[in-house]
A and B are shown apart, each in its own frame.
Chain A
Amino acid sequence: MNRTVLDLWVGLFVIAGIGALLFLALKVGSTSTINAADSYEVTADFQNIGGLKPRAPVKSAGVVVGRVADIRFDNEKYEAVVTLRLANRYAFPKDTSAAIMTSGLLGEQYVGLEAGGDSQKLKDQDRIMITQDAVVLENLIGQFLYGKAQEGAAK
């Protein structure tokens, strides 16, 4: 069996195909999917998560430090339990606070972490105590109207 020109073309074809897959993997897809090996999970309870979805980014100071791994509903506390998967290289103090924020006016929602001052760090399966719910537009308008009405009554 000898090498033929045909083999060369097929080889080029296979290499081009694998190259295209690499292009998709590196340039198009996100490499930010954190694998389970070098990451840790913490949970946070929210009374309202708004439109937060699994795989949404977790940011601290605007930098993506992890992803939302899971969202469950706690049927005893009637709260949403959000599991955050954070990269191992980012350690946060124990009294870090989590808030659900929106990027831009209509953008996707993400979890923002703000570091506290504790000397102990968050460990795997820890719970973030201080949380801030998503802003619900209807509540905001309600509060605004209520405030206006009280202003009127005071006059």
Chain B
Amino acid sequence: MLKQAIENLGNHTIQGVWRIGFACRFFLAVLLHSGTAFRRFGLTIREMYFTGVLSLIIILVSGLFVGMVLGLQGYETLQRYGSESALGTLVALSLVRELGPVLAGLLFASRAGSAITAEIGLMKTTEQLSAMEMMAVDPLARVVAPRFWAGVISMPLLATLFSAMGILGGYLVGVRLIGVDEGTFWSQMQGSVDFTQDILNGVIKSVVFGLAVTTIALFEGYDAPPTAEGVSGATTRTVVTSSLVVLALDFVLTAFMFRGLN
């Protein structure tokens, strides 16, 4: 009984380390095979349509609502201290620094990441990947790399759109609905948001999240056991792992970027 448990634990650990190593090699292989993704950019554009354009609706709508909630809640708290003029600062800084990249990353993982895993997993299950290898077409270059770059390019665009929509939502609720002065809303925001330190750092965050989420999604699909059950398990793992990785990476990046700023 106890022996069994220890054996299981050891087995899981070894499997885990093995998978991490394989994932790193997979990541490098994708980078090495990226040439095709740029030479035949049409392939990447096709994937950008599926990962980026089709994620637009959920990103824009969530961004708007998050911004509107921030406007309401921020106003409630700030007006207690008589500083509702700082609403613009609160909405913009929290969106541009944190909420934009992180929430867009989480949504991207569940909307686009799961789809990538399921697609590649199913391609593997139905032996399309092996068929490509038979025809001397490298599936890494033809299938994986375009999806990788499409995800990496789409993610920062989606995060910026999320932040912009959120600020618009905060503006609608704060200025239009509650009646915070429009001039102070924008000028306080401009006074405290710095382009390089806040906006560009947010963009860098979203690029890193894009890399992480797409790599995890592609790897899980590529590594999925070729059964129906295996593909469904891989899809679940993609969403869970990439959400956790986004949140953990966010902490690390924030510690690097914003420590000692104020």
Contacts and interface: CB of A to CB of B under 8 A. Distances in A.
Given A13-B56, A29-B194, A33-B194, A24 B160 contact: yes
B49 A55 contact: no
B42 interface: yes
A36 interface: no
B53 A24 contact: no
A59 B199 CA distance: 25
Interface residues of A, number: 27
A7 B45 CA distance: 7
Interface string A10-48: 101110111011011101111111000000000000000
Interface in A84-125: 106
Q: Helix, strand, loop or mixed for chain B's interface?
A: helix
A55 B194 contact: yes
Contacts of B156: 17
A1 B163 contact: no
A50 to B, nearest CB: 15
Q: Helix, strand, loop or mixed for chain A's interface?
A: helix
A23 B56 CA distance: 17
Given A29-B199, A33-B194, A1 B42 contact: yes
B96 interface: yes
12 contacts: A9-B49, A10-B48, A10-B49, A13-B157, A14-B157, A23-B164, A24-B163, A28-B92, A28-B199, A29-B190, A31-B195, A33-B195
Interface of B: 42, 45-46, 48-49, 52-53, 56, 83, 92, 96, 154, 156-158, 160-161, 163-165, 167, 186, 189-196, 198-199, 203, 262
Given A6-B45, A13-B52, A13-B56, 9 more contacts: A13-B53, A17-B160, A20-B160, A21-B199, A24-B96, A24-B167, A25-B195, A28-B96, A30-B192
